Chains A and B, each alone.
Chain A
Amino acid sequence: MATVARQSALLPRERTAPSRWRQLWSFFRDPAVFLSSIVLGLVLLAAIAPSVLQPFDPNKIGVGPALVGPNRTHLFGTDDFGRDIFSRAVDAARLELTMSIGGVALAVLIGVPLGLVAGYRGGLADSLLMRIQDAMLAFPSILFAILVVAALGASQRSIVLTVGAIFIPRFARLVRGSVLTLKEEEFVLASRAVGATPTRVMARHILPNCIAPILVQITLTVSVAILIEAGLSYLGLGVQPPAATWGNMLKQAQSFPRQAPWYVIAPGACIFFVVLSLNLLGDALRDRLDPRLRRL
């Protein structure tokens, strides 16, 4: 990377890469990226300022008659307590995002340094890490999550911990892989030759070159985290009502298949579109930032 940068500096100005803004613009011009960004922007808005979008208090009982279908006042209808489903779906965004992003952040904060050290140092730390990784992969994510929730109780905290624990080895392994190739690069050897400490080499030279795959992985991981959380909530092992999550709304909805089939649609569609947007954005980011990982 560093050598490439050096070379491009020698080229005439006009032949260097297009400006950052232009690159960003061409990225967003892709319809998949554009639509995904709109969906995610809305979810972000719902999470930060729910009251802007909510026509009703999400937890207030009886803002309308119970179980009426979608209409002009109640966009997605009302639930069995006469609460506005749209307002509750909006309200759920904050919980979904804090839990999934919190869990992934935990995984990044622990997994990335672990991967750096394991890849750079090798030896015992490395083989231990790989064995733990193998062990974690032996649990289907949702089953591991159930195990943790059974032990720690169903709460936001245990869901964040679970998601973190599930993804720590994945980030560690990703970074370790990059480090193994990077540490043989000339710029790393050069920096070691002039006497840089291992910490400095890792932080200044290796880590910056791992950022792209990490960023891609974060996008794709948050979507899996949302699916895990939704699955737990659906089983009744996630955040408990009256707090709304898309998963526990679905759990409640399935009691009224005859009276209120629409109740099932809204929360599931929220999960679907958010996860789809994150996946599309992640794929586009990967194609853009890290062509080596490109999949057809």
Chain B
Amino acid sequence: MGRYAARRLLEAIPTLFIVSALVFGLMRIAPGDPAAMQMGREAARPENAEKLAALRSEMKLDRSIPVQYAYWLSDLARGDFGTSYRSGRPVIDLITEKIPATVQLLVGSMILALAFGTPLAILAALRRGSLVDRGVMAFVSAGLAVPSFWLGLTLILLLSVRWKMLPPAGYVSVLDDPWTALKHMVMPAVTLGVYLAATLMRFLRADMIEVMGTDYIRTARAKGLRSQRVVTGHAMRNAMVPVLTIAGLEIGALLGGSVIIEQVFGWSGVGWLIVQAVFDRDYPIVQTAVLFVAVGLVLVNLLVDLAYGWLNPRVRASYGR
């Protein structure tokens, strides 16, 4: 296990470098002079030309791109993520402020997807071709095709505008006021959770069908175990392993989805911050926030891989060779 973990960790390092280079490169292509944007309106005045030049050299903008990249990396390593052009505040503060909102949304939709998807997928697998199974398959097809923002807007139209059951927008922390937070969270979490639920159900159903056809399930049945025990004790345990992996890997898709969902529901999380910053041309925020998300995902994928290796010794073995 140690060897496998070490190897996967080593592989993640070049990936992280490529990720950071991509983010940096793209932000350097973006139009505009970062120094001028940092100074704001003052930069346009002729008497400030000298100041501007000084700032440019302080920001290393007069150096070559690879050198700038190296400086940027060393800044990152020292925990200096730059300041927002617009508010002048450190980017890191702006991002960490928004993280709880996004985490709350992600966790909510994950719980919803797992709680709703797992039992239905298992039921569908056990009764192939039944009404439940066909319903699940229809939900999977629809869930993978529906544009999330459209689903969100439709929910708002029905539940907020027409029936006035739920608030249409806004983020309330679950720590401040759990009940109000819950009411605010229902629609965004459902909207975001549909895609995850559909993906999970698709794989879990397929895995369950495969596992239920294996010899050890037949053995368990033959020795007289109640079918409930066979399903929960034997089949689910094996079918859940790939499902957990998928849940981990889909965190990326979920984060991507949250960028749009946060916009639909005025949910001021990290995605909302990024989109706002793109409109404001506040590149330090975009650069750092996207980097955070990407690095976070590399680490999550790494953890998922390690967990998978831990749960499934065959994977480890194939790496050891």
Interface residues of A (CB under 8 A from B): 131-132, 134-135, 137-143, 146-153, 223, 227, 230-231, 234-237, 250, 253-254, 257-258, 261, 264-265, 267-268, 271-272, 275-276, 279-280, 295-296
A79 CB to nearest B CB, Å: 15
Chain B stretch 176-209: residues in CB contact (< 8 A) with chain A: 202, 205-206, 209
Residues of B within 8 A of A280 (CB): 141
Residues of A within 8 A of B12 (CB): 134
The reply to whether B260 and A142 contact each other, CB–CB distance below 8 Å, is yes
Q: Does B320 contact A (CB under 8 A)?
A: no
A selection of 21 A-B contacts at a CB cut-off of 8 Å is A131-B15, A138-B297, A139-B22, A139-B290, A140-B252, A146-B259, A146-B278, A147-B27, A147-B290, A149-B278, A151-B29, A227-B147, A234-B263, A237-B275, A250-B150, A257-B156, A261-B157, A271-B150, A272-B146, A295-B206, A296-B206
The reply to whether A296 and B205 contact each other, CB–CB distance below 8 Å, is yes
A208 CB to nearest B CB, Å: 30
How many Å lie between the Cα of A234 and that of B191 in the bound state? 16
The reply to whether B278 and A237 contact each other, CB–CB distance below 8 Å, is yes
Q: Does B255 contact A (CB under 8 A)?
A: yes
| B282 closest partner in A (C-beta) | A150
Q: Does B142 contact A (CB under 8 A)?
A: yes
Q: Does B135 contact A (CB under 8 A)?
A: no
> In the complex, which of the residues B29, B30, B145 contacts A276, with contact meaning CB atoms closer than 8 Å?
B145
Q: Which 7 A-B pairs have the closest CB atoms?
A: A140-B256, A268-B150, A135-B18, A276-B145, A296-B206, A275-B145, A142-B256
Residues of A within 8 A of B274 (CB): 143, 146
A77 CB to nearest B CB, Å: 14
Most buried by B among A131, A137, A151, A152: A151
- A279 in contact with B301 given A142-B260, A234-B149 (CB within 8 Å): no
The reply to whether B147 and A271 contact each other, CB–CB distance below 8 Å, is yes
The reply to whether B15 and A151 contact each other, CB–CB distance below 8 Å, is no
Chain B stretch 1-39: residues in CB contact (< 8 A) with chain A: 11-12, 14-15, 18-19, 22-23, 26-27, 29-31
| B128 closest partner in A (C-beta) | A296
Residues of B within 8 A of A250 (CB): 149-150, 153
Q: Does B235 contact A (CB under 8 A)?
A: no
The reply to whether B259 and A131 contact each other, CB–CB distance below 8 Å, is no
Q: Does B253 contact A (CB under 8 A)?
A: yes
The reply to whether A276 and B142 contact each other, CB–CB distance below 8 Å, is yes
> In the complex, which of the residues A140, A147, A230 contacts B26, with contact meaning CB atoms closer than 8 Å?
A147
> In the complex, which of the residues A134, A143, A153 contacts B256, with contact meaning CB atoms closer than 8 Å?
A143
Q: Does B293 contact A (CB under 8 A)?
A: yes
Chain B stretch 117-146: residues in CB contact (< 8 A) with chain A: 141-142, 144-146
Q: Does B295 contact A (CB under 8 A)?
A: yes
Q: Does B154 contact A (CB under 8 A)?
A: yes
Q: Does B163 contact A (CB under 8 A)?
A: no
- A230 in contact with B147 given A131-B15, A140-B256, A146-B278 (CB within 8 Å): yes
| B260 closest partner in A (C-beta) | A231
The reply to whether B145 and A272 contact each other, CB–CB distance below 8 Å, is yes
| A226 closest partner in B (C-beta) | B147
Sample of 14 further A-B pairs with CB below 8 A, known A150-B27, A271-B150? A131-B14, A134-B301, A138-B15, A138-B252, A139-B252, A142-B257, A150-B286, A234-B147, A253-B153, A261-B162, A272-B147, A275-B144, A276-B145, A280-B141
A252 CB to nearest B CB, Å: 12
The reply to whether B161 and A140 contact each other, CB–CB distance below 8 Å, is no
Residues of B within 8 A of A152 (CB): 29
The reply to whether B144 and A261 contact each other, CB–CB distance below 8 Å, is no
Chain B stretch 26-61: residues in CB contact (< 8 A) with chain A: 26-27, 29-31
The reply to whether A139 and B14 contact each other, CB–CB distance below 8 Å, is no
Residues of B within 8 A of A131 (CB): 11, 14-15, 18
A141 CB to nearest B CB, Å: 6
Residues of A within 8 A of B26 (CB): 147-148, 150-151
The reply to whether A268 and B153 contact each other, CB–CB distance below 8 Å, is yes
* Interface bits B240-258 vs A (CB < 8 Å: 1, else 0): 0000000000001101110
Q: Does B230 contact A (CB under 8 A)?
A: no
How many Å lie between the Cα of A152 and that of B30 in the bound state? 6
The reply to whether B153 and A276 contact each other, CB–CB distance below 8 Å, is no
How many Å lie between the Cα of A142 and that of B257 in the bound state? 8
How many Å lie between the Cα of A269 and that of B256 in the bound state? 22
Q: Does B174 contact A (CB under 8 A)?
A: no
Residues of B within 8 A of A150 (CB): 26-27, 30, 278, 281, 283, 286
How many Å lie between the Cα of A246 and that of B209 in the bound state? 38
Residues of A within 8 A of B151 (CB): 268
Q: Does B298 contact A (CB under 8 A)?
A: yes
